[in-house]
Amino acid sequence: MSNILGYRRHVPGTQPKHLHPPYVSSITRAPSKPLVYIPHTLTEATGPLFGKEVIDVKACDLTRQHSGEPLGERIILGGRVLDEDGRPIARTLVEVWQANAAGRYLHKVDQHDAPLDPNFTGCGHTLTDDEGRYRFVTIRPGAYPWRNHYNAWRPAHIHFSLFGPAFATRLVTQMYFPGDALLPYDPIFNCTADEQARNRLISVFDWASTIPDQALGYRFDIFLNGREATPMEK
Amino acid sequence: MSFNATTSQTVGPYFSIGLTRLRKTDLVGAGGSGDRITISGRVIDGEGKPVPDAMLEIWQANSHGKYAHPEDTQNKPLEPDFQGYGRVGVDENGGFAFSTVKPGTVPGPDGKTQAPHIAISVFARGLLLRLVTRIYFPDEASNTDDCVLNLVEPARRGTLIARKSTVVGALEWNVILQGTDETVFFDC
């Protein structure tokens, strides 16, 4: 047990720095001292695993959680969860949350002057299948103002939370939509130096999963930290 | 073919919409062996103000030092009611509390043993990535030889060790995000 196969560390530039002053909330919350590098031990190479017992199979359709249908543009949001070698991560939990079509969250702190939708909570979850695929039915969230700076607006986005196979692979991120004019102005989207890494947070319009007369399809693939190469592979 | 891991983004202020369902502040089921403990504290920002919109996730071994995960192949018993996972939000004063059992020792690198510890992820508005830290236990002789604690400069190790309170089994541990008494966070 002494030689744990760890997970790969992030490639420099492909993740945000903790302190990103244009995102004002980071100024008093980001650590000021350097992080302490630690090896991956059994603690980091294991992690909570969630199975069917925590899943409500209906929770992958955010448009069917109330008596009526939510307002907004219905979308099919799907993709795969893979590791950095492109191997599917099967039966892993994906949690999502989002604003409604008017750009309002069902949350007491959100006082944006836009209507709540009685037919939309904005919360879903699912497990990936054996090929790492997931699929949600939801509505496209609206953009909304926030107080970070003058005339600040968040581009439309959906929050994603994933555990993957280990404590070391935990990821919380946000998915954006292609062609959103607000993206160049958003300090959260732009907090990552590497442009390519940043742009991979933007989903792709997917004609193949678009359902005629019903919903537009978007694809968003998610990559979690891969395994370190074994000594044999080195 | 190789891809870099997807970029992290903040949980923002509204994460409770999506993440409350798997809230778990009592990690112990009806049965289960081990010393019951509660750990409570606050999340504080760089200005000394409480953070009212943070969330902690907990990952730990059971009282025997066994993780409920297939890669833990140690010959130690699993506890059917104990998965080692917890998720706790903070209140308006940045306060949190969870109850669990004290974990056993688990293997570390080079055949050594790690002191009992709980792995913690901290999420909050303003944090673009999660922060990773650990909770260790007071009066624990094995802390001296712990491979992770020994990577931390001695003056800062105390930020990782819970404090005893006047109540037996009740421990206190704070998360100081920034500043002189900043909690040690790991690159992990």
- B182 interfaces chain A, CB cutoff of 8 Å: yes
A229 or B175, which is more confident? B175
CATH of B16-176, one of 1.10.1200.10, 2.60.130.10, 3.90.1280.10, 3.40.50.280: 2.60.130.10
Is position A185 annotated as part of the catalytic site?
Answer: no
Query: Are B126 and A172 within 8 A, CB to CB?
Result: no
The 10s digit of each residue's pLDDT in A172-219 is 999 999 999 999 999 999 999 999 999 999 999 999 999 999 999 999
Q: Is A40 a catalytic residue?
A: no
As a whole number of angstroms, the distance between CA A188 and CA A127 comes to 27
In this structure, is residue A2 part of a structural domain?
Answer: no
Contact B171, B162 (CB under 8 A): yes
Mean of pLDDT over chain A: 95
B151 backbone dihedrals φ, ψ, rounded to 5°: -85, -10
CATH number of the domain enclosing A190: 2.60.130.10
- Does residue A234 surpass a pLDDT of 50? no
Task: Spell out which residues of chain A touch residue B18, defining contact as CB-CB under 8 Å.
Answer: 95-97, 122-125, 159, 161
- Tens digits of residue pLDDT in A13-68: 999 999 999 999 999 999 999 999 999 999 999 999 999 999 999 999 999 999 99
Residue A23 annotated to the active site: no
In the residue annotation, A107 being an active-site residue is answered as no
Whether the Cβ atoms of residue A109 and residue B53 lie closer than 8 Å to each other: yes
Domain locations along chain B: 16-176
* A216 within a domain of the structure (yes/no): yes
Question: pTM surpassing 0.95?
Answer: yes
Contacts with B51 (C-beta within 8 Å, 6 or more apart), sequence order: A29, B43, B44, B45, B90, B94, B124, B177
Token pair for A192: 């990552």
Is B17 in contact with A97 (CB distance < 8 Å)? yes
Confidence grade of residue B79 (pLDDT, cut at 50, 70, 90): very high
What pLDDT score was predicted for residue B30?
A: 74
Selected for mutation to probe chain B from A5, A20, A24, A38 (highest B CB count within 10 Å) is A38
The residue in chain B having the minimum alpha-carbon distance to the alpha carbon of residue A110 is: B14
More confident residue, B58 or A1: B58
Of A57, A74, A15, A20, the residue nearest A223 (C-alpha) = A15
User: Are the C-beta atoms of B31 and B81 separated by less than 8 Å?
Assistant: yes
Q: Do A50 and B151 touch (CB under 8 A)?
A: no
Q: How far is CA A81 from CA A26, A45, A129, A188, in A?
A: 28, 18, 10, 22
Question: In this predicted structure, what is the pLDDT of residue B134?
Answer: 98
Q: Which runs of E-coded beta strand occur in B36-149?
A: 36-44, 54-59, 85-89, 95-101, 106-107, 113-114, 117-124, 131-136
Judge contact between A176 and A155, C-beta under 8 A.
Answer: yes
Comparing alpha-carbon positions, the chain B residue that sits nearest to A175 is B9
Kindly tell me if the per-residue pLDDT of B38 is higher than 80.
Answer: yes
Residues A65, A70: Cα–Cα separation, whole Å: 9
What domain count does chain A have? 1
